[in-house]
C-alpha cells in the first residue's frame, strides 16, 4: 500500500473525475472474457482468493491506506462520491468490512480531468490481468485466441500478408497496426462496433493514422527504420536507477528486484538479452528478505 503522500497529487474534485460523469452500463466480467479466463473466475476461491491460512502466514498489515484529504475530511463529499459510483453500477455494498483500500487522484495528460486511483495492491495484478483479457477479447471480436492479436508470448501476426491488420491491446489502450491505410481504418471501425456491442465506451486518442507512434513505453516505427524500440526516456530512467543502486552500494534486495522488473520489461522486445540477468535473478530468489552489498 502507498506510504506517505503521493507526489504531485491533485485534490479530489467531483467535477474532474470523468467516470462520475460518463454514461456506463457495466457488464459481468464473465460475459466479456475468453473461456480460459472465465474458468479462473468460476474457481476464484482456488486460484485468486487467499485462504485463511495463507492470510495468517502473511501476518498483520500495519500500513494505513492513503485517502484523499477531501474525501477523508468531508462526509458529504464522500457520500456523494459513493452514491454516484453506486448509481453507475461500479460498487455494491456489504454489511461488514472485508478490506480497506486507498483512494486518491493523480494527474492526467488532459488537465481538465484527474485519474481516480483505488490502491488495493493485493488484487492489482489480477485486476490488470482481467482488464487485459476483457479488452483484448472484445477488440478482437470475441474470437478465442485470434491470430491477428499482438500479444506477449505468442507469435506476432504477419501484417505483410495483406489485408492482415494487427490489434494491439495494453490494458485499456488499443492500436491497430497494418501496412495499408484502408485496412487499418476498416479494422478500427470493426473494433468500434465490437465495443458498442459490448456496451464498452471507446474513445480514440487520434483519428489519424501514424507511421511512427508511441504506446506504453514503446515506439513503433513504420517509417524508414521499420522497427520497434523502447522510449529513450524509459531507457534513461532505468540506466540512472541502476547507477544509483551502484552508488549506494548496500540496498534492500526488494529494491534490486524492482529495478530488475523494469529491466525485464525493457528487454521484452529482445528476450535473449535477459540471459545477462541470470545470476541477479538467482541472487534475488535466495536473498529476497535481506540487504545486498
pLDDT in tens, 275-293: 999 898 888 888 877 766 5
Indicate if 132 and 45 belong to the same structural domain. Answer: no
Indicate if 262 and 188 belong to the same structural domain. Answer: no
Q: What is the pLDDT of residues 33-77, one digit of tens each?
A: 999 899 999 998 888 887 778 777 777 767 778 889 999 999 999
* Among candidate residues 87, 119, 151, the one where a domain is terminated: 119
Residue 6 lies inside a defined structural domain of this protein? no
Indicate if 115 and 192 belong to the same structural domain. Answer: no
* Among candidate residues 102, 119, 136, the one where a domain is terminated: 119
| Cβ partners under 8 Å of residue 85, min gap 6 | 19, 20, 91
Residue 82 lies inside a defined structural domain of this protein? yes
Cα 110 to Cα 23, 24, 38, 167, 267: the distances in Å are 20, 21, 35, 25, 30
Q: 258-266 contacts: CB < 8 A, separation 24 or more?
A: 260/284, 262/237, 262/238, 263/238, 265/217, 266/217, 266/230, 266/234, 266/235, 266/238
Low-confidence ranges of the chain (pLDDT < 50): 1-2
Tally of domains within the chain: 3
Helix, strand and coil content of the chain, in percent to the nearest 5, comes to: 45, 15, 40
Cis peptide bond N-terminal to 71, omega within 30 = no
Residue 76 has a pLDDT of: 95
Indicate if 107 and 25 belong to the same structural domain. Answer: yes
Contact 150, 140 (CB under 8 A): no
Residue 3 lies inside a defined structural domain of this protein? no
* Among candidate residues 179, 208, 230, the one where a domain is terminated: 230
Question: Domain limits at 185?
Answer: 128-230
Indicate if 214 and 261 belong to the same structural domain. Answer: no
Whole-number Å distance between alpha carbons of 221 and 224? 8
- The alpha carbon dihedral of 225, 228, 231, 235 has a sign of negative
Residue 238 lies inside a defined structural domain of this protein? yes
Indicate if 146 and 102 belong to the same structural domain. Answer: no
Amino acid at each position: 500500500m502507498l506510504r506517505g503522500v503521493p507526489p504531485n497529487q491533485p485534490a479530489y474534485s467531483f467535477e474532474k473525475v470523468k467516470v462520475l460523469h460518463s454514461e456506463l452500463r457495466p457488464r459481468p466480467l464473465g460475459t466479456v472474457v475468453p473461456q480460459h479466463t472465465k474458468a479462473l473466475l468460476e474457481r476464484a476461491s482456488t486460484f485468486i482468493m487467499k485462504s485463511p491460512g495463507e492470510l495468517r502466514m502473511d501476518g498483520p498489515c500495519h500500513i494505513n491506506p492513503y485517502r484523499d484529504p477531501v474525501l477523508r475530511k468531508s462526509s458529504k463529499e464522500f457520500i456523494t462520491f459513493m452514491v454516484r459510483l453506486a448509481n453507475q453500477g461500479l460498487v455494491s455494498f456489504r454489511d461488514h468490512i472485508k478490506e480497506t483500500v486507498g483512494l486518491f487522484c493523480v494527474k492526467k495528460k488532459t488537465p481538465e480531468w484527474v485519474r481516480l486511483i483505488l490502491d488495493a495492491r493485493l488484487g492489482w495484478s489480477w485486476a490488470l490481468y482481467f482488464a487485459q483479457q476483457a479488452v483484448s477479447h472484445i477488440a478482437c471480436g470475441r474470437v478465442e485466441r485470434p491470430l491477428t492479436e499482438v500479444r506477449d508470448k505468442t507469435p506476432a501476426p504477419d501484417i505483410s500478408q495483406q489485408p492482415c491488420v494487427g490489434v494491439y491491446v495494453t490494458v485499456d489502450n488499443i492500436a491497430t497496426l497494418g501496412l495499408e491505410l484502408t485496412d487499418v481504418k476498416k479494422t478500427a471501425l470493426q473494433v468500434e462496433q465490437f465495443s458498442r456491442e459490448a456496451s464498452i465506451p471507446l474513445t480514440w486518442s487520434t483519428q489519424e493514422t501514424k507511421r511512427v507512434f508511441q504506446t506504453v513505453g514503446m515506439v513503433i516505427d513504420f517509417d524508414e527504420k521499420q522497427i520497434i524500440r523502447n522510449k529513450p526516456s524509459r531507457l534513461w530512467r532505468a540506466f540512472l536507477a541502476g547507477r544509483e543502486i551502484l552508488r549506494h552500494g548496500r540496498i534492500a534486495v526488494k529494491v534490486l528486484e524492482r529495478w530488475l522488473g523494469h529491466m525485464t520489461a525493457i528487454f521484452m522486445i529482445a528476450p535473449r538479452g535477459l540471459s545477462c540477468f541470470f545470476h541477479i535473478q538467482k541472487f534475488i530468489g535466495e536473498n529476497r528478505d535481506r540487504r545486498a552489498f
